[in-house]
Amino acid sequence: MELIIAGTVALDDVKTPFGEVKGALGGSATYAAYAASHFSRPGIVSVIGEDFPKQHLDMLEKRGIDLKGLKKEGKTFRWDGYYEFDMNEAKTLRTELNALENFTPKLPEAYKKAKYVFLANIDPGVQLAVLQQVKKPAWVVTDTMNFWIENKKEELMKVIKKTDTLLLNDGEARELFKTTNLVKAANEALKLGPSSVIIKKGEHGALLFTKDKHFNAPGYPLENIKDPTGCGDSFGGALIGHLASTKLHGEWNLRKAVMYGSTLASFNAEEFSLEKLKSIKKEDIEKRLKEFREMREF
Amino acid sequence: MELIIAGTVALDDVKTPFGEVKGALGGSATYAAYAASHFSRPGIVSVIGEDFPKQHLDMLEKRGIDLKGLKKEGKTFRWDGYYEFDMNEAKTLRTELNALENFTPKLPEAYKKAKYVFLANIDPGVQLAVLQQVKKPAWVVTDTMNFWIENKKEELMKVIKKTDTLLLNDGEARELFKTTNLVKAANEALKLGPSSVIIKKGEHGALLFTKDKHFNAPGYPLENIKDPTGCGDSFGGALIGHLASTKLHGEWNLRKAVMYGSTLASFNAEEFSLEKLKSIKKEDIEKRLKEFREMREF
């Protein structure tokens, strides 16, 4: 297993001004793995419940996503949330951790040899436990959320220390480093261990900071956004998927990976759940990447 | 007079988390004209009071900015405002319109032949009066603010109808077209008359929309922002300054103009009042433009 992705697999109730879904396939590992599957063949490290619909498992396996690292016990994690017209901010109505509550990841042997590891948004304790089982990772990408910054900062810091590329959204970066200035936040983050820090800004794109370079990735001007759930996860999944498929970690390949991240995230927002990610093909991705390139030429 | 800029000339009290100034030179026309002076030789259409310090007039004239369109009567317009850590939003403590209250612009003969007109932020009634006196403008750029959208929408709409390039910040665009979606807002704006619409997003850069193209200009990653006052005006001033100096209005030259706008705006935020705009030279501008180019290559 070249690439493994640890995170949540969930059933989501989501409502946006443009529609709603109930019990839809979601979770950080799900979105990330599906986005990554456009570039590489990831394995998922997560837990689901006995209630998890078999059709989703079949769909993921058919897509070439490995599920040997997916434990099954109790009830599936559920998230119930909504978005108002400012689609940058998810509001949570209810979170049922269920099987996630006492989840201790135990990696299959093949997963321990993974070179690329994406620690998608999940309890930093789980992220750390996954990382400790991987023998010799070549590149570790870590994502998180404000909840962990507020409640499990110490463990999160341990994960960040072992991270190569840290993903934060702008609000999290400001919160973690207690500054409104994203450049200062990124520079602080680079002192903690990662050699690259990516600040995701939703519709405003993303910023990649490395030691002495800065890359500014635009947001894609979407006229019709239906559901931004999973955009950050899709971003990270496409990013590590591209890295795993190229095995290059220099500035230029990181930039390209960020652009693939932006591309998959922009597609993901166009439909609920994983519907859009499932409908696009390699040529759609390359076409949008070309549009990105053209809209920044001057 | 090839280029004229109508707007306010003010004395500002400004406080930010990084310092404060009292009675400092400010105003939309002042910032815009100074930024434009890096590219062209603008004339200002505005009003000041008898109390206006002569040193500022001398400084502007020495810079090659024409002041024949600058009326003098009563007391100078004063703005007293502050910024908190979110430097994207100015908070007003006090506005003294003074001489601006009954300002009716009367253009000098030379100004009536202007080809490039920047209607910087000022009462849309004044913008309209200026425009009606210009015989045959080649390109009109219009800026505004939320106050005029809320209080003088009808007159503002008349100005927009005669505008070639409309500038709005993201909040204004959302307010004017009652949508959170900036693509939709821009498309609505394009139906009103302008052939190009620029949405300024502060630290997140700017978006240029033309009939079927979209250009995404990044924000410059400033580590030290002192005072964002006048950044939007500097953006517009540099934009029209570049257009006036090249006399080209096609997509590619507009994109270049937007980048000069972003460049001057980013410099302006580094010091209070016009201090930074006064200290930079052509080579500083070109150097930053090159940095902008490099930070978006992939």
Domain coordinates in residue numbering, chain B: 3-294
- A151-163 residue pLDDT tens: 999 999 999 999 9
Residue type, A6: A
Let me know: does B8 contact B77? Beta carbons within 8 Å. Answer: yes
Cβ-Cβ contacts under 8 Å, A255 against chain B: 297-298
A184 touches chain B (CB under 8 A): yes
**Residue B273 burial (CB count, 10 A):** 23
Cβ-Cβ contacts under 8 Å, B293 against chain A: 298
Q: How far is CA A82 from the centre of its chain?
A: 19
| Rg, chain B, Cα only | 17
Question: Using CA of residue B208, residue B209, residue B215, residue B221, what is the dihedral sign?
Answer: positive
Helix axes B282-294, B251-268, angle to 10 degrees: 110
Inspect the interface and report whether the beta carbons of B222 and A183 lie closer than 8 Å. Answer: yes
Inspect the interface and report whether the beta carbons of A296 and B225 lie closer than 8 Å. Answer: no
Q: Which residue of B has its CA nearest to A226?
A: B181
Inspect the interface and report whether the beta carbons of B205 and A207 lie closer than 8 Å. Answer: no
Inspect the interface and report whether the beta carbons of A295 and B214 lie closer than 8 Å. Answer: yes
Inspect the interface and report whether the beta carbons of A225 and B181 lie closer than 8 Å. Answer: yes
Token readout for B86 is 């979110």
Which of B207, B255, B295 lies at the smallest CB-CB distance from A216? B295
Cβ-Cβ contacts under 8 Å, A221 against chain B: 182-183, 207, 214, 216
* Distances A102 to A4, A7, A71 between C-alpha atoms, Å: 21, 14, 12
Helix, strand or coil for residue B155?
Answer: helix
Low-confidence stretches of chain B (pLDDT beneath 50): none
A250 touches chain B (CB under 8 A): no
Which of B218, B225, B252 lies at the smallest CB-CB distance from A216? B218
Let me know: does A86 contact B180? Beta carbons within 8 Å. Answer: yes
> What is the rounded CA–CA span in Å between residue A220 and residue A228?
13
B132 by Cβ neighbours in 10 Å (0-12 / 13-18 / 19+) ranks as exposed
Helix, strand or coil for residue A294?
Answer: helix
Query: Given this model, what pLDDT does residue B87 score?
Result: 77
Token readout for A239 is 């990013």
Cβ-Cβ contacts under 8 Å, A296 against chain B: 215-216, 218, 296
Indicate the pTM of the whole model: 0.91
Inspect the interface and report whether the beta carbons of B255 and A204 lie closer than 8 Å. Answer: no
> What is the rounded CA–CA span in Å between residue B19 and residue A60?
56
Q: What is the largest CA-CA distance in chain B?
A: 55
Q: A283: which DSSP letter?
A: H
Inspect the interface and report whether the beta carbons of B298 and A86 lie closer than 8 Å. Answer: no
Query: Given this model, what pLDDT does residue A50 score?
Result: 97
Q: How far is B251 from chain A (nearest CA, A)?
A: 9
Closest CA to A11 of A66, A42, A45, A51: A51
Inspect the interface and report whether the beta carbons of B221 and A297 lie closer than 8 Å. Answer: no
Which of A87, A216, A221 lies at the smallest CB-CB distance from B183? A221
> What is the rounded CA–CA span in Å between residue B60 and residue B45?
13
Q: A70: which DSSP letter?
A: E
Inspect the interface and report whether the beta carbons of B182 and A205 lie closer than 8 Å. Answer: no
Inspect the interface and report whether the beta carbons of B223 and A85 lie closer than 8 Å. Answer: no
Inspect the interface and report whether the beta carbons of A255 and B297 lie closer than 8 Å. Answer: yes
**Count of alpha carbons within 13 angstroms of residue B229, beta-carbon side:** 33
Cβ-Cβ contacts under 8 Å, A290 against chain B: none
Token readout for A33 is 């793995």
Inspect the interface and report whether the beta carbons of B187 and A87 lie closer than 8 Å. Answer: no
Low-confidence stretches of chain A (pLDDT beneath 50): none
Cβ-Cβ contacts under 8 Å, A297 against chain B: 255
Query: Given this model, what pLDDT does residue A85 score?
Result: 76
ipTM higher than the 0.90 cut: no
Which residues, in sequence order, are CB contacts of A141 under 8 Å at separation 6+?
A: A116, A117, A118, A119, A163, A164, A165, A166, A167, A236, A239, A240, A243
Q: How far is CA A60 from the centre of its chain?
A: 16
Q: Which residue of B has its CA nearest to A253?
A: B298
Inspect the interface and report whether the beta carbons of B205 and A204 lie closer than 8 Å. Answer: yes
Token readout for B208 is 């240029």
Q: How far is CA B161 from the centre of its chain?
A: 19
Helix, strand or coil for residue A84?
Answer: coil
B85 touches chain A (CB under 8 A): yes
> What is the rounded CA–CA span in Å between residue B116 and residue B139?
5
Token readout for A154 is 């110490």
Query: Given this model, what pLDDT does residue A84 score?
Result: 84
Q: Which of B216, B222, B239 to mutate to test the interface with A (most CBs of A within 10 A)?
A: B216
Cβ-Cβ contacts under 8 Å, B182 against chain A: 203, 221
Which of A223, A225, A298 lies at the smallest CB-CB distance from B259? A298
CATH class, A3-294 region: alpha beta
> What is the rounded CA–CA span in Å between residue B259 and residue A218?
14
Query: Given this model, what pLDDT does residue B88 score?
Result: 76
Show which of residues 219-248 on chain B sit within 8 Å of chain A, judged by CB atoms.
219, 221-223, 225
- A–B interface: beta-carbon pairs under 8 A: 80
Q: How far is B184 from chain A (nearest CA, A)?
A: 6
